[in-house]
Amino acid sequence: MSDFPTEHVLLTPGPTPIHPRAMQALTRPMLGHMDPEVFALNSDIQADLRVMYGTEPETFTALLAGTGSLGMEAGFANLVEPGDEVLVCANGSFGRRMAEMAARYGAKVRLVTAPLGEAIRPRDVAAQLTDDVRMVAVVHGETSTGVLNPVPEIAELVRSSGALFTVDAVTTAGMEPFHMRDWGVDYAYTGAQKCLSAPPGLAPIAVSERAFARFGARRTPTPLWYGDLGGLHDYWVGQTYHHTVPVNLHFALQAALRAALEEGLENRQRRVRQMGRVITRTLEPLGFTPYVHRPEERLPTVLALRLPEGFDDAGIRGQLRQRDISVTGGLGPTAGVIWRLGLMGESARPEPYRRLMTALGDLLGDRDLADRYEHHLQEETRELVSV
């Protein structure tokens, strides 16, 4: 270990710092992908994913060997056929990525958009949701702008139509309320390196029975052989070979997922909110303000803050990076306008943000910054779960 640099403070909206138990699990001796012990581990993962997503007891869950984008792509590849009408809610770069993928698999895409920094309006979805729509897709938490879309309200509209409902849960599942069964979600996915703080390279998915029936009724096989739901089912349920799964990443994800469930999903939701309030209050006197106007549209796991007038975004982030602290700015039209502070998984802890506040106070000549942070932290965390 001594060859590695000292600990890096990763405050980006993904990847997140690897959970210590996941780090330890990575060093387990290798086993074969067809080993009985690996199949037992896989079925623990499947059960824990059902809890994380809030599914029916029998819902198919699995890991895809790729990042969150593969989870996204597999949804369209398996559940969309050429010519299908697909309604995509796109109010940021990940929503637009969904639209592009759906189009590549032959969908006729209808877009529902919203102004930058605002959530999708359910009534705009309703206006385009005609009987011929085969799927509605939405990003729950738009990482590019820090906007939380009203998934439960959109779900209610979709439920009374014949369409499947696909939800990108990358910034929410495991950290924010997510209720696949109660809401009526048909396909959900995330990435291991976001809210679970496992290493990148796995995409946990959940597929409803309705979605499986749609898949089973395809006229032609999906062009995406590697992510074919039938092939995945063969491995995850039938225990027959499809492809070599990254066993060591399964070890790590299982450890991180179990740690999340042991902490408790509600405790995690509370931890994110507490940290968000502490950071916002600490930075407010410097002129940082919430980028998303309506409080109910703010995504707790990606804190988007508008920078103060005249703030040297690139310069300060560069200096922070020299001190081994990574902070992410805006994307496209919000570049130079906002910071996106990650509060997913292990980044939503007092210590990494203490490092940021100390460094920032130093760089900006704000002697009170670190003390303000401690003060707000103490106020918030009088009954804090863990530090």
Ligand X SMILES: *Cc1c(COP(=O)(O)O)cnc(C)c1O
Binding annotation: 340
Q: How many CB atoms lie within 10 A of CB 372?
A: 19
Indicate whether 75 belongs to the interface with ligand X (CB under 6 A). no
173-196 burial, b for 16+ CB within 10 Å, e for fewer?
A: bbbbebebeebbbbbbbbbbbbbb
Per DSSP bridges, beta strands 328-329 and 338-342 are: antiparallel
Structure-token pair, residue 101: 């993928």
Indicate whether 77 belongs to the interface with ligand X (CB under 6 A). no
Q: Can you say which residues are annotated as belonging to the binding site for substrate? A: 340
Per DSSP bridges, beta strands 133-139 and 164-168 are: parallel
Looking at the Cβ atoms of 54 and 95, the one nearer to ligand X is: 95
Looking at the Cβ atoms of 191 and 352, the one nearer to ligand X is: 191
Indicate whether 12 belongs to the interface with ligand X (CB under 6 A). no
Sequence-ordered list of residues with C-beta below 8 angstroms from that of 19, at least 6 positions apart, any chain: 196, 197, 198, 255, 256, 259, 345, 346
Q: Total binding residues for ligand X by CB under 6 A?
A: 12
Helix (H, G, I), strand (E, B) or coil at 301: coil
| Rounded CA separation 112/110 (Å) | 7
Looking at the Cβ atoms of 245 and 299, the one nearer to ligand X is: 299
Find the binder of ligand X among 63, 133, 158, 170 (CB under 6 A): 170
Find the binder of ligand X among 85, 168, 228, 297 (CB under 6 A): 168
Indicate whether 222 belongs to the interface with ligand X (CB under 6 A). no
C-beta of residue 68 within 8 angstroms of C-beta of residue 46: no
Indicate whether 174 belongs to the interface with ligand X (CB under 6 A). no
Looking at the Cβ atoms of 67 and 282, the one nearer to ligand X is: 67
Find the binder of ligand X among 14, 227, 290, 361 (CB under 6 A): 14
Q: Cβ 280 to ligand X, closest distance in Å? A: 21
| Rounded CA separation 321/5 (Å) | 13
Indicate whether 171 belongs to the interface with ligand X (CB under 6 A). yes
Footprint (CB under 6 A) of ligand X, residues 113-142: 139
Indicate whether 345 belongs to the interface with ligand X (CB under 6 A). no
Residues that bind ligand X (CB under 6 A): 14, 67-69, 72, 94, 139, 143, 168, 170-171, 191
